[in-house]
Chains A and B, each alone.
Chain A
Amino acid sequence: AQSVAQPEDQVNVAEGNPLTVKCTYSVSGNPYLFWYVQYPNRGLQFLLKYITGDNLVKGSYGFEAEFNKSQTSFHLKKPSALVSDSALYFCAVRDNNNDMRFGAGTRLTVKP
């Protein structure tokens, strides 16, 4: 079965600095990879996805993610963090059976 690992529970960055939230995955077959963001008392919001094509995927709010097949990673990145980016971020992987598995989440805190 597919699985996702988010090795960092917490990421702290200063506003204006680049941010990276890490994700590695395990899946048989072609991976469908996703990033979601969750603000307090809100549902998950879709940020971006990788299905096929370019390894660098651009998504909402200036976020992007790089698919690396050899390292089985799909790290989320943003060149310049905003305080409003502070939230809980989830990486997810879906296999050909359409069962989407989520990581445990990484709490991003951007300090002014």
Chain B
Amino acid sequence: EAGVAQSPRYKIIEKRQSVAFWCNPISGHATLYWYQQILGQGPKLLIQFQNNGVVDDSQLPKDRFSAERLKGVDSTLKIQPAKLEDSAVYLCASSLVLGGGGYTFGSGTRLTVV
């Protein structure tokens, strides 16, 4: 089966600019996750979707981050305006069902804010 697709692979922006990341999960996977992985740290959950509904966005900095999964398939994560501390790898993952076993991760988008 095809894996979780993410684009772009790399992005460099200046602070205060906006940026968007795209994720296409594995076909049929109802649950989709966005994680932020800062260099030297483990991934941190930003938001979790079940189909097109938000299950958990408690760790999403809502003043600048937003995410949507309008049709319950692919998802977009946006940052506006970006800060230097947003430099990280943004990982998308999906799982078949909520509470299912392991997640399948995409290769991530490496964001550098200068």
Contact with A along B35-57 (1 / 0, CB 8 A): 00000111111001000000110
Is residue A55 within 8 Å, beta carbon to beta carbon, of the partner chain?
no
Bound CA span A5–B33, Å:
22
- A62-92 at interface with B (beta carbon < 8 Å): 90, 92
Contact B43–A44 (Cβ < 8 Å): yes
Bound CA span A90–B102, Å:
13
Contact A43–B108 (Cβ < 8 Å): yes
Residues of B within 8 A of A43 (CB): 4, 91, 93, 105-108
- A6-64 at interface with B (beta carbon < 8 Å): 34, 36, 41-46, 49, 51
Least Cβ–Cβ distance between A32 and chain B, in angstroms: 8
| Total A-B contacts with CB atoms under 8 angstroms apart | 53
Residues of B within 8 A of A51 (CB): 101
Bound CA span A87–B41, Å:
14
Least Cβ–Cβ distance between B49 and chain A, in angstroms: 12
Total residues of chain A contacting the partner, CB 8 A:
22
Contact B101–A49 (Cβ < 8 Å): yes
Residues of B within 8 A of A99 (CB): 45, 48, 56
Least Cβ–Cβ distance between A77 and chain B, in angstroms: 18
Q: Chain A's interface: helix, strand, loop or mixed, by majority?
A: strand
Least Cβ–Cβ distance between B43 and chain A, in angstroms: 5
Contact B55–A98 (Cβ < 8 Å): yes
Least Cβ–Cβ distance between A104 and chain B, in angstroms: 5
- A88-110 at interface with B (beta carbon < 8 Å): 90, 92, 97-105
Residues of B within 8 A of A92 (CB): 42
Contact B41–A105 (Cβ < 8 Å): yes
- B30-89 at interface with A (beta carbon < 8 Å): 31, 33, 40-45, 48, 55-56
Give chain B's interface residues, CB within 8 Å of chain A.
Answer: 4, 31, 33, 40-45, 48, 55-56, 91, 93, 98-99, 101-108
Further 4 A-B residue pairs, CB within 8 A, beyond A49-B102, A102-B42: A98-B98, A100-B33, A104-B40, A104-B42
